[in-house]
């Protein structure tokens, strides 16, 4: 249970500096539980709190845990080069949460600009580390479309392990299921640079299309369009923290 005044609630959720948040309240632009509140120091229990700012509904979250359906043509960077940033797909408060130099939610790992699919985002450093670290073996499932037809020998090599150019240690797929002549579902538990593309190149094939459909037990559903995002439920976050053996 946490009790905070309204100005601090808005600040923690990314609605600007404390002075800006105070102004929003004093100008009558904030309602809490459906009622107008113009007292910046009014206190509220934050658990389950719902409020609106300038008519837009917003739920209080002590920490932000999101899933984004990343479209092609976006970079997972705050300072992109040739393509727009995925962060432009998020509302401003999510990009400003917490204030300071490391404000806002961060992507959990990266997807190449031409890769689509499930991207986790959070402002919880421990969560980001756990989801990203190969030590925790969080499985990530990729739907791979290849340029050349797949064969059993290529699948066998991916499961046995292939050597990439930056390490002599073989990299193995946790699972590799051929779905069609040119479609492979590949499960990895670590995330090296361009890993899927380099693994397919190592077995004499080439990635033509790449989509991440699952992380742990969290699956990207058809109800989340490309470019859209949603909050994760408490149950989904808890499931992602489950031991690797549970993700089967």
Q: Are 208 and 147 in contact (CB under 8 A)?
A: yes
Residue 146 CA to residue 200 CA, distance in Å, equals 8
Phi, psi of 125 (to 5 degrees): -60, -40
Residues with catalytic annotation?
112
Residue 130 CA to residue 240 CA, distance in Å, equals 9
């Amino acid at each position: 249970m946490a009790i905070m005044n309204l100005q601090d609630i808005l600040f923690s959720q990314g609605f600007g500096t404390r002075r800006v948040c105070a102004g929003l309240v004093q100008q009558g632009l904030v309602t809490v539980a459906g009622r107008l509140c113009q007292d910046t120091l009014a206190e509220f229990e934050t658990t389950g709190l719902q409020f609106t700012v300038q008519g837009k509904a917003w739920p209080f979250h002590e920490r932000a845990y999101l899933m984004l359906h990343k479209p092609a043509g976006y970079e997972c960077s705050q300072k992109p080069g040739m393509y727009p940033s995925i962060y432009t797909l998020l509302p401003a408060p999510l990009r400003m949460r917490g204030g300071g130099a490391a404000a806002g939610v961060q992507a959990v790992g990266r997807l190449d600009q031409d890769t689509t699919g499930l991207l986790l985002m959070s402002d919880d450093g421990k969560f980001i580390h756990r989801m990203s670290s190969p030590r925790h073996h969080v499985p990530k499932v990729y739907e791979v479309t290849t340029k050349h037809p797949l064969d059993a020998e290529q699948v066998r090599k991916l499961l046995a392990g292939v050597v990439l150019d930056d390490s002599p240690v073989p990299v193995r797929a946790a699972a590799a299921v051929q779905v069609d002549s040119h479609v492979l579902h590949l499960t990895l538990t670590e995330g090296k640079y361009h890993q899927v593309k380099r693994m397919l190149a190592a077995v004499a094939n080439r990635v033509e299309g790449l989509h991440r459909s699952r992380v742990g037990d969290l699956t990207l559903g058809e109800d989340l369009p490309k470019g859209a995002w949603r909050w994760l439920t408490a149950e989904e976050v808890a499931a992602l923290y489950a031991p690797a053996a549970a993700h089967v």
